[in-house]
Structure 1
């Protein structure tokens, strides 16, 4: 479904990605992991059309989407849960969810489905998003992305800064989505939790993937995690 090949991008005169490669088959959950400043969020921003592609290809469902506008990329079927959640603070929970909702033939997600996945959001549907906890805002950001009915769901720093019990809830949610066949690209630092979910890790170092393989293969090479993740 997703095949990134030779991707180069950056900010102004500063280049961040140097021949980035990444792949996800339909129904797979893959990760992008690495230390801060290695290019994870830059990769996401480039995939979503928020940064221009300097060189390389972004293949999605057989088409090259490199250079498309962000709204066209979203309509093609890529949903983003951005780092920092970025909910609309002045809107209610329900308004946040329906603001960008997209329905079409065969659409899987509606408002009732999101409330079924996150009952806490239904309890707070009339509340302003600014009154939610960090964990609830993350649930809201995930629900908002799901309501675009994406074929590929991208989560940038999926559980960063969340309490352990909320992290468990988010991982359980992603496990349910995987069981239902949702293709997911997740960025996170928690290898232990991801090991139960991810089919393939991609380790990024200075704007390029230096290793890709299963969680089991990574566990057999602990020096890799220490060298590239500082773990």
Structure 2
């Protein structure tokens, strides 16, 4: 079993006086794809934002390759090799598709991902590279957001609600691209509302319920009953 690249140790997270996560403990192994599931408001996006450095936490509550990163800024976390595809995509509306992608490569990390490789993964982006990014369809914008993250050549990619609001045919295109994203040893954490889809593409799953881990298991062995109990707290 590979060593964990990411470890969460009793992670608490707050927005001011509101506590969103309570003692979350989890890990991601090298090259592993892990799902995070749970109802709306369970803390999934807070978890992703905490890992990415958008929420400051206790240093030792988040370890990257054994080193504490819980207090690092988002740019420092990205420089270590962790990239976030945020919920809602958050593209730069005044920039073209290609300019959005280029911004993702500004860290200068070495690796296999560059413009040519992203266009190979998502050919439609090459056709639309000079268009304003927010003029694209929702699915194409999601491809830009994924490509922007890949341009930083991460070792871990965090994908928050990558299929939310997209047509089934576009969701299939994005998930069909997943093996090409993680095929060279990159680890991934995927937040997904479609439980069946999440389980089909991941090795392990964590369920959050009211900010706590209510279930952990292998994606191919957890039962529907276990998920239902963990999801709804029944």
For normalisation by structure 2, the TM-score amounts to 0.93
Q: Is the 8 A contact 1:16 1:207 kept in 2?
A: yes
Aligned residue in 2 for 1:80 = 84
Kept after mapping to 1: 8 A contact 2:60/2:69: no
- Structure 1 runs, 4 residues or longer, greater than 4 Å off: none
Does the residue aligned with 1:225 lie in a helix, a strand or coil? helix
Deviations, residues 161-195 of structure 1 (Å, cap 9, x unaligned): 10000000111111222333220000001122223
1:2 lines up with 2:1 in the alignment = no
Is the contact made by 2:21 and 2:46 (CA closer than 8 Å) also made in structure 1?
yes
Cα distance in 1 for partners of 2:86, 2:20 equals 19
- Which residue does the alignment assign to 1:226? 228
Corresponding residue for residue 127 of structure 1: 131
- Pick from 68, 71, 93: which aligns with 1:67? 71
* 1:203 corresponds to: 207
Deviation at 1:62, TM superposition (A): 2.0
Partner residue of 2:191?
187
Matching of residue 103 in structure 1 with residue 124 in structure 2: no
Report the Cα offset of residue 46 of structure 1.
Answer: 1.1
Structure 2, unaligned runs of 5 or more: none
Secondary structure, aligned partner of 2:125: helix
Cα separation, partners in 2 of 1:55 and 1:27, compared to 1, 3 Å = closer
Structure 1, 1-10 or 221-230: larger mean CA deviation = 221-230
**Cα displacement (A) at 1:56:** 5.1
RMSD: 1.4
CA shift, 1:54, in A, is 4.8
Cα distance in 1, alignment partners of residues 41 and 220 from structure 2: 26
Seen in structure 2, the aligned counterparts of structure 1 residues 61 and 201 have a Cα distance that, compared at 3 Å, is: same
**CA–CA distance in 2 between the matches of 1:27 and 1:204?**
22
Matched, 1:14 2:18: yes
- The CA distance in 2 between the partners of 1:46 and 1:129, in whole Å, is 27
- Which among 101, 116, 120 is matched to residue 120 of structure 2? 116
Cα deviation, residue 21, structure 1: 1.2
1:92 aligns with 2:96: yes
Confirm or deny that 1:58 pairs with 2:72. no
Give aligned pairs, total.
Answer: 227
- Secondary structure of the 2:146 match is helix
Output the CA distance in 2 between the equivalents of 1:55 and 1:76. 15
Residue 79 of structure 1 contacts residue 148 of structure 1 at CA under 8 Å; is this kept in 2? Answer: yes
3-state DSSP class of the match of 2:169? Answer: helix
Deviation at 1:225, TM superposition (A): 2.2
